[in-house]
Amino acid sequence: MTQDLPPLNALRAFEATARFNSVSQAAEALHVTHGAVSRQIKVLEEHLGVALFAKDGRGVKLTDAGVRLRDASFEAFDRLRSVCAELSRDADEAPFVLGCSGSLLARWFIPRLGRLKADLPELRLHLSAGEGDLDPRRPGLDALLVYAEPPWPADMQVHVLAEEHIGPVMSPLFEGFDRLKAAPAVALLREAVLHTTSRPQAWPTWAQQHGLAPQALQYGQAFEHLYYLLEAAVAGLGVAIAPQPLVADDLKAGRLAAPWGFSPTRAALALWVPRRAADGRAEQLAQWLRQALQQQAA
């Protein structure tokens, strides 16, 4: 006699049929057909080498062997349901750890954190900042908020929030502000623009979109991270380039200006969630982020 456990689907079909004492009700509970349940029970009986049900008029009744398996399966499935419920409660009570770049965290997320807590008070959110070293595949991170270009990783559930728009920005404190604010985009080829090593393609992409030769760009001060680049721009040190959401508050407050507007790229701001760990909190957060970005753009 085989010592292997029978197929789980067959055990589920048996347990449901024994619980309802009806193949039809078991099929309805399992969202399958009457025939599918009957086939699974037959598979189980063949695996065990005993009959589990006998005909009883139009219905069925358990055999002695069926009664023994019913008692064991009820206990086993009840225990499984209980443990799964406990695990779900533990997951719901644990904080949802979201990774994102330091610039995105400081310049967009933190100013909206109070509103998020008011709108989603049940979401226990923990924020983890990093620059290119955050991977939701690793333990300790539930999701990643990131600007990236498709194709998306096959092992990620990707919630696309908004397409990326980038553009040059400068402060009224910048000594070339009055000269540049009404000048065409080509005027930037005569400026030593601020740039960041974390987004080396930002300026070339923007230049190509405006019919300018990327190789004609002149680069001035470099910064390791986008956050520092934008702080330098706000301080009036030169012209920087950035995604629109990260400078929208500065534009409204007059700390920065964007005379040449913002242009779309192939990238998008998206929430990446490992498919193995996707849960309702990620979907809830994605909806809130999408609405917040739409409100900001309005």
DSSP code string of 130-174: ESS---TTSTT--EEEEEEPSSPPTTEEEEEEEEEEEEEEB-TTS
Quick one: pLDDT band at residue 3, thresholds 50, 70, 90?
Answer: low
pLDDT number for residue 4: 75
pLDDT number for residue 120: 94
- Tell whether omega for the bond before 151 is within 30 degrees of 0, i.e. cis: yes
Is 86 buried (19+), middle (13-18) or exposed (0-12) by CB count in 10 A?
exposed
Name the pTM for this structure: 0.68
pLDDT number for residue 76: 86
- The radius of gyration of the chain's CA atoms, rounded to the nearest angstrom, is 30
pLDDT number for residue 74: 83
pLDDT, average across residues 109-122: 94
pLDDT number for residue 75: 86
pLDDT, average across residues 32-59: 87
Residue 18 has pLDDT above 90, yes or no: no
pLDDT number for residue 132: 66
Instruction: Kindly report the average pLDDT of the chain as a whole number.
Output: 89
218 — phi, psi (to 5°)? -110, 130
Two structure tokens written together for 31: 């969202």
Q: What is the pLDDT of residues 192-215, one digit of tens each?
A: 999 998 889 999 999 999 999 999
Closest CA to 41 of 5, 71, 67, 16: 16
Secondary structure class of 121 (helix, strand, coil)? coil
Q: Which of 74-78, 113-117, 242-246 has the lowest mean pLDDT?
A: 74-78
Q: Are 233 and 126 in contact (CB under 8 A)?
A: no
pLDDT, average across residues 103-121: 94
Q: Are strands 59-62 and 53-56 parallel, antiparallel or unpaired?
A: antiparallel
What letter represents residue 168's amino acid? P
pLDDT number for residue 198: 86
Q: Are 96 and 285 in contact (CB under 8 A)?
A: yes
Closest CA to 99 of 275, 270, 284, 265: 270
pLDDT number for residue 1: 41
Two structure tokens written together for 258: 């964007």
Closest CA to 202 of 190, 184, 214: 214
Residue 2 has pLDDT above 50, yes or no: no
Residue 82 has pLDDT above 90, yes or no: no
